[in-house]
A and B are shown apart, each in its own frame.
Chain A
Amino acid sequence: MLVMRAMMVKEFRELVRDRRTLAMLIVMPLLLLVIFGYAANFYVSSVKTAVVGPQASQVIKMLPSFFDVTVTEPAGTQADAQTLLRDNKADVAFVTGTTPVPALVNGSNLFAAQSAVAALNKAGDQLKIETQVLYNPGLKTSWVMVPAIIGLILTFIGTIITSIGMVRERETGTLEQLAVMPIRPSRVILGKIAPYFLVAALDMIIVTVLGIVLFSVPFNGNPFAFALGAAIFLFVVLGLGVFISTISQTVGQAIQTAFFFLLPQILLSGMIFPLEAMAAGVRWIGYLLPLTYFTMISQGIMLRGAPIASLWLPFVVLTAMAVVVFTGATLRFRRDLAPGRSASPAAGQPAAAETVGTA
């Protein structure tokens, strides 16, 4: 019994000092409770709706409240309605002026589209409506998941794999060796990150091609715009990986920390649960996550063929994140590689002719 007690006391003492594991024990249940309580909701209560054409005002009056009309263009045509859907400004667009009224549904927003189709079928008794689902006519889950999974894979490589590769240098003591070699910290960082960037890019190509071949996911947009979005996103997640490596001493710690970054991205980026169905207090967390914006880009380009101009917001947000996260993380890593450079000379101390560091 005494042996058992000694073992348990030792285990508790270690646990109290292992703050990351402690955080996992305390924060993770709360996080999961909040996420699944407030965010795990597939039901969309209203959809962004556009009504175009000469009878727009009459049709709006007849629409159930589920259709939240945000755009009204009496002079608009079916082409204008499609553009609104392509640019993700509406989930449903009614084109008035003909009978039956075409109701165009944005299939790339899967859950909104499913709810909209159900509501349109119900409203069809009062309104003569012809439902057309665009960008994902079969409302297939795989079509919206594959573009998001590409982002998830990039996140996985960028954060977990990169942070492991970086922190291993610290754990084995070789970082110290690199620091005394005649190689600039920026080159060490770039030399270490570039292979992960290339591997992630290759993985992205393989997954995209497999997604197209195996699941018949369309690629309607510009591949260069997609590559640009992926490259910017990669800089963000690689920056996260480098940042994690600067706050971790061991590979185990890096994996634990990366898990904290990865889990919210999976659950709150809109990849699994629709952002518009989440409680407002949780939804804003989703808007802080880079995967949210990459998913907007990848789904927009692959499924809707959206041009960069219509995806400017996620591009700008991701670029800002890339600059802040990547720069901040590499500066932190650089500090570990060149500790002497941060020292300021002490007053009255002469600098030696060939001095590697003076106080």
Chain B
Amino acid sequence: MTYSVRSATVRLGPAVALDDVTVEVPGGSVVAVVGGDGAGKSTLLRALAGEVSLDAGTVEAPPKQRLGYLPASSGSWAALTVTQNIDFVAGIYGLAGDELTARRAELLDRAALTPAAGRLAAQLSGGMRRKLGFVMAIVHRPALLILDEPTTGIDPVSRIDLWRLISEAAASGAAVLMSTTYLDEAERAAQLVVLDRGRVLVQGSYDQVRAGFAGVVTRSDQPVRAGWAWRRGRVLHEYWPGGDPSAPSDHSAPSSPPAGTTAVEPDLEDIVIALSLARRNTVPS
């Protein structure tokens, strides 16, 4: 089953949070939404969860009984213990008795939360709290799992744990739509969607996104055009939408790099930044 948001437009006051966005989330795969602050990631996720009304477009999603959602906030009740949090949510989905006991034990074990089962959610570390939120989101084996920045602000080890849990959920058949600010995570997803100011800049598999990227990224110590350059480690990268370094260029507003500059193989971070800069430098905000 593939779930989707099609031609979705959402206006929040005068701002357009989503502008004609179409995203498909096939069952058994992870779709990662990336973009900067205010790109529309959370709005897209909340639209699919039915928490945001669309001004235009359609949403195809399972009924609430088959939907799992981890919000960007803690995702758990601070004054309840880990077990009580899971039991509460499981109770809403109709799980009880032996079925609940077995499911709770299985999830606590998989999330390495068994030793913390009796601790209050407020007393958990950030990573453990996100894992608890994730466990609560999948306790009822949802067909569509929506995760709003599940790994933001947590340590690398907890990120690995969470990614393992996310992959397992997808492997068991769930359609997973998640937002992230970590581009290395997005590379691991089957599909990625790059959003900027409410619009889809590019989407597809990592290989498709790379293959479809037009233009050249160069490396230098001094940028030719500051508005098209960004720092990567000790050097600066610069985007040239026009492409070929050997081609003659207009020096007043060159879109191709001058001869002699060093082109680099762009990774996902380069591609996302380059496309965002291209939009910002051509479409006024």
Our verdict on whether A and B bind, yes or no, reads yes
Which of A180, A343, A358, A359 makes the CB contact (< 8 A) with B69?
A: A180
Find chain B residues with CB under 8 A from A3 CB.
none
Interface residues of B in 73-131 (CB under 8 A from A): 73-78, 89, 92-93
- Report whether A180 and B58 are in contact in the complex, using a CB–CB cutoff of 8 Å: no
| Chain A interface, number of residues (Cβ within 8 angstroms) | 26
Instruction: Given A180-B50, A354-B61, answer yes or no on A172-B55 (Cβ-Cβ < 8 Å).
Output: no
Instruction: Given A173-B74, A180-B49, answer yes or no on A359-B62 (Cβ-Cβ < 8 Å).
Output: no
B52 at the interface (CB under 8 A from A): yes
B27 at the interface (CB under 8 A from A): no
- Report whether A173 and B51 are in contact in the complex, using a CB–CB cutoff of 8 Å: no
Find chain B residues with CB under 8 A from A342 CB.
53
Find chain B residues with CB under 8 A from A1 CB.
none
Find chain A residues with CB under 8 A from B52 CB.
339-340, 357
The residue on A at minimum CB distance from B3 is A354
A58 at the interface (CB under 8 A from B): no
Q: How far is the CA of A182 from the CA of B73 in the complex (A)?
A: 20
Q: How far is the CA of A351 from the CA of B57 in the complex (A)?
A: 10
Interface residues of B in 193-240 (CB under 8 A from A): none
- Report whether A356 and B61 are in contact in the complex, using a CB–CB cutoff of 8 Å: yes
Q: How far is the CA of A183 from the CA of B65 in the complex (A)?
A: 9
A349 at the interface (CB under 8 A from B): yes
Find chain A residues with CB under 8 A from B92 CB.
181-183
- Report whether B72 and A172 are in contact in the complex, using a CB–CB cutoff of 8 Å: no
Instruction: Given A176-B73, A183-B92, answer yes or no on A355-B61 (Cβ-Cβ < 8 Å).
Output: yes
Q: How far apart are A26's CB and chain B's nearest CB, in angstroms?
A: 28
A44 at the interface (CB under 8 A from B): no
Which of B53, B69, B71 makes the CB contact (< 8 A) with A357?
A: B53
- Report whether B71 and A340 are in contact in the complex, using a CB–CB cutoff of 8 Å: no
Q: How far apart are A190's CB and chain B's nearest CB, in angstroms?
A: 14
Listed in ascending order, the chain A residues whose CB lies under 8 Å from chain B are 172-174, 176-177, 179-183, 339-340, 342-343, 346, 349-359
A356-B67, A358-B54 provided; 16 other pairs, C-beta below 8 A?
A173-B73, A174-B75, A174-B77, A176-B71, A182-B93, A339-B52, A342-B53, A349-B58, A351-B58, A352-B59, A354-B61, A354-B63, A357-B47, A358-B58, A359-B53, A359-B57
Sample of 7 A–B contacts (CB below 8 Å): A174-B76, A176-B71, A180-B50, A339-B52, A343-B54, A358-B54, A359-B57
Q: Which 8 A-B pairs have the closest CB atoms?
A: A173-B73, A356-B50, A359-B54, A343-B53, A182-B64, A352-B60, A357-B50, A180-B69
